[in-house]
Amino acid sequence: MSTAAHPGTPASVRQTAQSGLYAEVQLFYARQVHHLDAVRAQEFAATFAEDALFAHSPDAPAVRGRANIAAEVSAYNKRRFQADPVQRRHWFTMLDVRQQADGSVHTEFYALVGTTRPGEPRPVIAPSCIVRDVLVREDGELRTLSRKVTQDQELIG
């Protein structure tokens, strides 16, 4: 089996691991999520490609482009949490990474969202999601070119 012809075949697994790509993607997501949960909308948007497509919730229309992603993250947080101070966390796990022949990287992972409110140490943990990203490189660095978040609710609706 040729890796180039069949991205995602077993042969590519060790290549992905040994090249450091898997760890690089993990680091990329850690920093992206830290920006998101601190509501640093500009810094979060800067981890997306210039013309990225961002479909993050069934309750919000998909947006395109860094400026619109930053605006959407700000607006979403204001809409939902302005009168309800929270600390949100996004926990990404079970990350699959598949290098593509065209240089892009396809990822698939689970995301779980936690929301802690004052006076209640137990976070509300919902929703559980599956996320599919296409990553590309800009000036050598990973950027999200597209993100599609699907909530588990949608899969059993």
Provide the minimum distance between the beta carbon of 100 and its own copies in the complex, in angstroms, as a whole number: 15
Question: Closer CB to its own copies, residue 16 or residue 146?
Answer: 16
Which residue, 39 or 55, is less far from its own copies as judged by CB? 39
Residue 102 or 122 with smaller CB distance to its own copies? 122
Give CB contacts under 8 A, 24+ apart, made by 36-41: 36/73, 36/90, 37/87, 37/88, 37/89, 37/90, 39/73, 39/74, 39/77, 41/70, 41/71, 41/73, 41/74, 41/77
Which of residues 61 and 140 has its CB atom nearest to its own copies in the complex?
140
Q: How far is the CB of 144 from its own copies (least distance, A)?
A: 14
Q: Could you list the beta-strand ranges (E) of the chain.
A: 48-55, 63-64, 87-99, 105-117, 120-138, 141-151
Q: Which residues bind its own copies (CB under 8 A)?
A: 10, 13-14, 16-24, 26-31, 33-34, 85-87, 89-97, 108-110, 112, 114, 116-119, 121-128, 139-141, 151-153, 155-157
